[in-house]
Amino acid sequence: MTSQVRPKLFTPTTLRGVTVRNRIMLSPMNQHRAHDGYADDGLLVHLGKFALGGFGIIMTEATAIEPRGRVAPGDLGIWSDDHVAGLRRVCDYVRSAGGTPGVQLAHSGRKGASQRPWQGFGPLNEHDAARGEPPWALISPTRESLGPGHVVPDQLSVEGINGVLQSYAAAAARADAAGFEVVEVHAGHGYLIASFLSPVINTRNDEYGGDFAGRIRFALKVANAVRSRWPRHKPLMFRLSSVDGHPEGWKIEDSIKLARELKNHGVDIIDCSSGGLRQSTALENAKRYPGYQVEYASQIRRGADIATVAVGLILDGRQAEDILVSGDADFIALGRQALYDPFWPHHAAQDFGIDSNFDQWDVSAGWWLAKRKDGLSSIGLDGTGKSINAFPKSEQES
């Protein structure tokens, strides 16, 4: 009898010195529920359920390297040594459940001081200030605000840029101290690094602006700063907006060229998103087709010879497996689909016909599900509750 070939989706892989149990990554998704940046029980439960659900790499939401780098008041933070203990508690649990903990280091730039999505997504106003959440000073490559009502950012000087680079390096050291095994730098969606990359936003005429080499200089220095404090045996990701959607903006060809340079600066994987230059990607990408960003992961992977993460309306295991087998990406990231089904990896494995005895599940759940499977089979159902064969006619009539 020929043994079943294990789906690539569920094949463990090693990144530098870190082995991940499968190719499924939880995409960073802002929860906006932290207080002063601290990880709490809510974050432990939120990320813990994805570890129990079988995800390989489990990423935090965008985690601010500076207080002024928050998107909204409730953002998770890593700007203080005091944040490390709470993050370590989360990492320890994720690892104990078989997952690989990852953190996304982020700086909002001019897109900070905003309301939470369910509060309107607009700039913080007097009503927000009245409940104790006033706007704060922002920074950006130039003094152009995100839009009417938004805080006009201070233009970063070269000295100010060096200070931000130090914040990235310090955040990487804290991430290591907390026990994270993967770091991702958020360089997309119109936030600080993406603003430097964009010819639409970055109109500087110094060494950090102008031509392509000038506009990518900050991103490369961020990679150097993070890698200087991030252990060599741990992988480094960069999330890019592969295209920013503006007719005169950042193009896929730019992302390929930047990815080649990032690879030479210690980056191992490109997480391939898109859009967000001025608005929220949650709004921009609400009405797209399944797998609409996979082409970006494919082009960057082939054009820059670097591993990529595909993300964007990847809904089921078969779709994810096809992406990997086709060579379009090395990892699959799930966002809102993961929120809908935190046990997506386990359910996908069941759909592939592997792990029929629930061995990959947490033992306290898998034991019960395996026992239930025996009972279900006696009434014509498989371990997932789906029908195996039609009931005998006599039983249907009784």
Q: Which residues contact 386 (CB under 8 A, 6 or more apart)?
A: none
Angle between helices 217-229 and 252-263 in degrees, nearest 10: 30
Q: d(Cα 116, Cα 122) in Å, to the nearest integer? A: 8
Alpha helix ranges (H) inside 305-362: 317-325, 336-340, 344-352
Amino acid letter, 362? D
Q: Which backbone phi and psi does 213 adopt, to 5 degrees?
A: -60, -40
Return the structure tokens found at 261.
């340079």
| Catalytic status, residue 208 | no
| DSSP strand pairing (24-26 vs 331-334) | parallel
Q: Which residues contact 223 (CB under 8 A, 6 or more apart)?
A: 185, 236, 238, 262, 265, 266, 267
Q: d(Cα 152, Cα 245) in Å, to the nearest integer? A: 23
Query: Are the C-beta atoms of 372 and 385 separated by less than 8 Å?
Result: no
- Measured from the Cβ of residue 191, the count of other Cβ atoms closer than 10 Å reads 25
From 168, 191, 208, 296, active-site residue: 191
Would you name the residues annotated as active-site residues? Answer: 191
